[in-house]
Chain A
Amino acid sequence: MKTFTYAKANDAETAVRDAHVSGAKFIAGGTNLLDLMKLQVETPEKLVDISRLPLGEIEEREDGGLTIGALVPNSDLAADPRVIAKYEVLSRALLAGASGQLRNKATTGGNLLQRTRCYYFYDTATACNKREPGAGCSAVGGFNRVLAVLGTSDHCIATHPGDMPVAMRALDATIITLKADGDKRRISIHDFYRLPGDTPNIETVLEPGELITHAELPAPPKGRQTYRKVRDRASYAFALVSVAGVVSVEDGRIASAALAFGGLGPMPWRNAAVEAALVGKAPSDAVFNAAADILLADARGYGSNDFKIPLTRRVLIATLRDLTGE
């Protein structure tokens, strides 16, 4: 860990001002940032401690949605009765992630920004374009079991490792930020993440010093919700593939569908065409297979992660059966 200067912020405005210098990072739970700083994958020169900002509340809005403070710990969000009652997919996703200890510390804002678990990103002895643009990608041609099959580029095949953001993407969350100049910004989660392209080091649309203050969930969606996570261990492991699904059926036909995927791409993955292929159709394996065809049309394996493609198809079909079945 490189040394850094430390500033503790008592309000968000001060925090963004403090962080508006090159090399500054916010720290709240720190569960991912400190992990990476110890390895010098992250080397911030300044840490702005936002852990005491008043962003720890979950509030119900008049439109029926929820506004979640960026500092709400994963545990609290998962256990919130309103989340359990109306956004079960989010609770389930959170509970499928990490461990009890980590969920007690990890925050909503920080979890949106969790960085990849690519083995090579984590090791400064190897080439990684995400860590050091232009250095090359060791994962291509290396061991890539946990890495991406969708949205990759020649420069990076990292996966977004999170669970919560996958559910939030299925729920059409909006991320609210505060910029250094004091402006607030609302960013749809669908616009929040960036594909790696030739700049895999840039993962979101956040500007330097821009602080996530809240995540907003729209009014609860219709239909059934589920989060299915496939992993090597029964617990305490990152997703090989995960699906967050919210599907409603009316009169024997799929009325709405929101499907987001973890473990497949550099961001929580969602493809509107997959859902369009479902809506209006009577649930059937043929329809589900057609949706899977669309999802996986551009999928590309890199050797040790090839299995994710057939696995995803199976998980998607089984999930859709669960969500549309009697």
Chain B
Amino acid sequence: MSVGLEHYLILSAVLFCIGLYGVLSKRNAVVILMCVEIMLNAVNITLVAFSRYVVPTLLTGQIFAIFVMAVAAAEAAVGIAIIIAIYRSRGTVDAEKFDLMKW
């Protein structure tokens, strides 16, 4: 069995759905943040796969994936900081308890 573009895409889709499921269903904000990272990495796989199979001579996809990693690192830092701040003020990281912005 040779590994083709579609395998990478399916892997990426599965990873993305797992991440999305985690974002939607988990209560712990830290876990939600981790799930977001999974979604980002799923996208990275897609970018690299397309780069390799569609335009093998160009590196745009790979470069883009590196950008995404850098942004993800920054986002994780900011996200963790926010979660710590929320934890300090409300004493919990349960996303369902964060409902100050409702009607």
Are A and B physically bound partners?
no
Which chain B residues have a beta carbon within 8 Å of chain A's beta carbons?
Answer: none
